[in-house]
Structure 1
Amino acid sequence: MEQEIVEQNFSPMAPAQIDRLVVRSGDLKGELVAFAQGPRYARRLEARLDEAADRLGHLDEATVVETIDHFALQYRLADGSTVVERFVAQRRPPLSEEERAMLLGWRDVVEGVFEVKHVDRSAATLHNLVDDLVYRVHSNMGWRALRKLRTGMFAAARIVPLHPDTDAWLITGNLSTYPRGYGAELAQAAVQTLTAHPQLLRRNPELLRKGWEMQAEARADFIDLFGTDLLILTPGEAQDRLREYHRHRQEKILADLDDTAAAKVRRDGPSLDELSALPEDLLDADTIGLVCDEIEGFCYYADFGRLDALFTDPALVRDRASLTQLREYLNDDSVSPRVIRRLVQRHPENADTVFRALLRKQSFTWEQDGEELLRRRKKSHYDHEPLPGITPVGTRLAELLRAR
C-alpha cells in the first residue's frame, strides 16, 4: 500500500514568465466568470445552484463560487462543449494562442485535499493526499491568497494547470484551510473522494500500477482458495465463502506484521462480518454470481444461476423468465460486458441459439455479431480505459488514516 510521493517534473519556464501568466490568468478568469453568468447560460447555471442548495440544505458563498467555477470549466452543454470552450471561441478581440492554450488547459481540474509542504513569496508546494502527487500552486489573487498557508497545514481546493508549457498550477475557486490537527479527519475525506472517483488514480501511474498489482494478488488468493474465479451460490453461501476468503486474506496479511501492528489491525480494522456483507438488493436473489475478475475485481450478479442454466440448456429459451433475465443483463448499464462474455465462454456451443431467441434474429452468430452487440448495448464500458477494483492510497494518506 505504500509508495514514494511522486513529484511533478517542474518546467524550466522562467519565473518572470510564470508570474506574467498568473497575472493575466486573473483578468481572463474574471471575463470567463462574467461570460458564464451571462443571460445565455442563466437558466442552466441557476439549475446547478438549485441542485447544490438541495444537496447541502443551504447555499453559502463558498458553494456558489465552487458551483460557478465547475459550471464554467467542466459542465457539459447540450452539444458536449464546455462554457470555457465557447468563451475561447467567441471572445472578441480573439485571444492569443498562448491565452487560448492557457484557458483550454483549465478543463483539467484537480480537486484534492492537500498538505502544505512549503510556502514562499510566489507559490505554495502542496501534496495532494488523494492522488499522492506534489503540485506547485499559484494564485491569481496574489500573495495575499497564499499568506494564510503554513507548512504542515491542510487545504481543500480545486487547482488547474497554469499553462501547457509549464507544470505550475493555479487555484481556481475557493481555498479552504485547516490546522494540522485536522489531518486524520481530512484523510478520511480524501479516501471517500478516491473511492467515489477511482479515475483519479490515472493522474499517478505509480498508484495505478500498485492497484493492479494488489488486485492480481487478491484474485490469486481467491483462486487458490476456491479453485476458480467464479462461484454460483445462494446469498447465504456467498456470505460464508466471502467470510472464508477474507479470513484467509487477513491471516496472510497479519503474518507479515509485527505483534503490535497485527493487534492494531485486529482491534481497529473492519470485522469479517463487515467485509463479507452483501449489498442489500442481493439478499433476496435465488443465486448470486460471485466473480473475482482479472480486470474488474469483485463483482456480484443477481440470479446468475438462472442465466448459466439457460446457456447450459438452450431448450430453456422457451422460459420467458430466463430470456427476460438475460435481456435485463444486456440492457443494464451497471452490468459489465465481461459477464456476458463469461456466459458465452462457459457454453460457447449454445450462445447462438440463446441470442437468436432473445433478439428474434435467426442470422445472429456470436462470433460475427457478439462484440458489436455488446458495444451497442454497453457503450459506456468502452468509453474509457478500465481501472483496478482495488484503490490504493499513498504513504502519507495511510499514515494519517492509521492515526485516525
Structure 2
Amino acid sequence: MSIDDLLERAAELKSELVAFGQGPRFARRLDTVLFEAADDDGFLDEGTAILAMDYFMLQRRLSDGRTVLERFVAGRRPPLSDDEREMLLGWHDVIEGCFEVRRFDGDAVLLHNLIDDLVYRVYSNMGRKGFAKIRAGTFVVGRIVPLHPATDAWMVTGTYTPYPKSARRQIAAAAAQQLTTHPELLRRNPAMLQKAWEIQAEHRADFIDQVGTDLIVLPPQEAQDTLREHYRRQRERALANLDTKTTKRKAKASPPPEQLRLREDMLTADTIGLIYDEVEGLNHYRDFGRLDALFADPTLARDRTRLTQLREYLDDDSVSPLAIRWLVQRHPDNADRVFRTLLRKPGFSWARDGEDLLRRRKKTHFDREPLPSISTVGERLAELLQ
C-alpha cells in the first residue's frame, strides 16, 4: 500500500478504535485517566483530554494486562487482515517528543526530536492541512507512532502543541528534564546510549577515587557531604570541557552541588549506604549499616527492628534488588541464616532460592531494560540549552 493508502486506512481504523475505547465497557477506567489528567482545580482542556484518551487507548494496561488497542485488534468484526493488525499493534511504540521542525517534504514534515537526537518523517492522517499551524524552525511537542512497520514513516497521534522559535529555551529545558527523569528515552539512539554508559563509568571511577570504594556506609551528614563533593567534581569536569566563557558563565549560574540536600527521612537515618554500581549508577540506602551489621552477625536477628527493616527493603518496590545483593555479597556465609529467620523457612538457601525470591518480590525491576542512570544530550539540544 502507498503512504496515502496507509494514512487513509489508519484514519479509518483510528476512528473505530476511539469509538471502541469510549464505549461503556471502558467508561469507568477512562474517567479515571481523565481525572488524573485534570489540573488541581479539576479543569481539563480539550488538548489534554485528547492526549489522555490517546494514552489510555494505546498504552494504559487494563486488569488483564492488555491495552484497549489489543482488545480492539483481537475483537474487531470483521477480523482485521494480518497487515492491518501489524499496523495497529505497531502503535504501541509511542514517542513523546520535543521536536524542532526541520522542513516540509511533500505532505510530510521532518521533525528533529531534541530528546533522542533523531529525525522522523511524520505525516498527519489529515494530510498537509494537519500541519497548518507549524513552520520550519518552530517547535512541536506531541506524540507520534509508526505508520506501518514496513515503512520509515511516522504519524501524529492524539494532538500536538506548536511553539514559536522564541520558545526554544523553554522547549530545550523541557527536553532536558525529560531526559533527566527518563533516561530510557535514549534507547532509540545507540550512540547516545553508549555515550551515557561511558560517562557513568567515568563518574563511577571518580567516585571510587574519591572515597576509595564503590560502597561506603556513612552517617547522614557525611553521606550528604560526600555526594556534594562528588557532584562538585563532575560539575568542574563538565565546565572544563565547555568551549566558551559565555557558556561557562551561564553554567555556573545554575544551582551548585553545595545546595544538594538529602530528604529529611534520610538525614534522620542511623546510617546511609552509598553504592555506585556499574549498571544502576549511584544509589543511597537508608540505615544500610544496621542491615550490614545483621548480615555480619545473624544473632542480631533477635532485634526484630532489623528484620522489619530487611522486610521493608524486600517489599518496597522503590528499593532495587541491588541493595540486598550487596548485603549478601559482603557476607555470603551468613545470608542463609538471616533469610531463614526472616522468612521462617528453615530450608531456605540463598544460592538456590535467592534470585527467585527477588524476582517474586521485585518483579518490576526484572522487567526493565538495563539503562544508565546518566543521560546525555545531543548537539542540537546542547546548543539550545546554551
TM-score normalized by the length of structure 2 = 0.95
Instruction: For 1:267 and 1:114, locate their aligned partners in 2 and report how far apart those are by CA, in whole Å.
Output: 27
Q: Does 1:20 align with 2:29?
A: no
CA deviation digits over 1:254-302, x for unaligned, max 9?
444457167426632331213x422332111111001111111111100
CA contact (8 A) 1:119 1:149 kept: no
Q: Does 1:226 align with 2:211?
A: yes
Pairing partner for 2:285 from 292, 298, 301? 301
Instruction: For 1:258 and 1:50, locate their aligned partners in 2 and report how far apart those are by CA, in whole Å.
Output: 47
What is the root-mean-square deviation in Å for CA atoms of aligned residues? 1.8
User: Which one-letter code corresponds to 2:158 in the other structure?
Assistant: G
| 1:223 CA displacement | 0.6
Q: Where do residues 317-328 of structure 1 align in structure 2 (5 Å cutoff)?
A: 317-328=301-312
Pairing partner for 1:127 from 112, 136, 141? 112
Instruction: For 1:284 and 1:157, locate their aligned partners in 2 and report how far apart those are by CA, in whole Å.
Output: 42
Instruction: For 1:232 and 1:103, locate their aligned partners in 2 and report how far apart those are by CA, in whole Å.
Output: 51
SS at match of 1:163: coil
CA deviation digits over 1:19-53, x for unaligned, max 9?
11112211111111111112222222122222222
Q: Does 1:180 align with 2:165?
A: yes
**Unaligned 5+ residue runs, structure 2?**
none
User: Which one-letter code corresponds to 2:323 in the other structure?
Assistant: V
**Unaligned 5+ residue runs, structure 1?**
1-15
* Large movers: runs of 4+ above 3 Å: 54-57, 250-259
Instruction: For 1:248 and 1:233, locate their aligned partners in 2 and report how far apart those are by CA, in whole Å.
Output: 20
User: Which one-letter code corresponds to 1:246 in the other structure?
Assistant: Y
CA deviation digits over 1:47-87, x for unaligned, max 9?
22222225574111111211221122112121111111122
Aligned residues: 386
SS at match of 1:156: strand
Instruction: For 1:149 and 1:266, locate their aligned partners in 2 and report how far apart those are by CA, in whole Å.
Output: 31
Q: Does 1:167 align with 2:152?
A: yes
Q: Does 1:88 align with 2:88?
A: no
Q: Does 1:236 align with 2:230?
A: no
Q: Where do residues 2-401 of structure 1 align in structure 2 (5 Å cutoff)?
A: 17-54=2-39, 57-257=42-242, 260=245, 263-264=248-249, 267-274=252-259, 276-401=260-385
| 1:251 CA displacement | 3.6
TM-score normalized by the length of structure 1 = 0.91
| 1:226 CA displacement | 1.3
Bigger drift between 260-269 and 130-139 goes to 260-269
Larger RCO (CA under 8 A, 6+ residues apart):
1
CA contact (8 A) 2:272 2:285 kept: yes
CA contact (8 A) 2:138 2:163 kept: yes
User: Which one-letter code corresponds to 1:81 in the other structure?
Assistant: R
**Residues 132, 262 of structure 1: alpha-carbon distance in 2 compared, 3 angstrom cutoff:** closer
Instruction: For 1:241 and 1:262, locate their aligned partners in 2 and report how far apart those are by CA, in whole Å.
Output: 27
Identity of aligned residues (%): 61
SS at match of 1:158: strand
Bigger drift between 50-59 and 150-159 goes to 50-59
User: Which one-letter code corresponds to 1:105 in the other structure?
Assistant: G
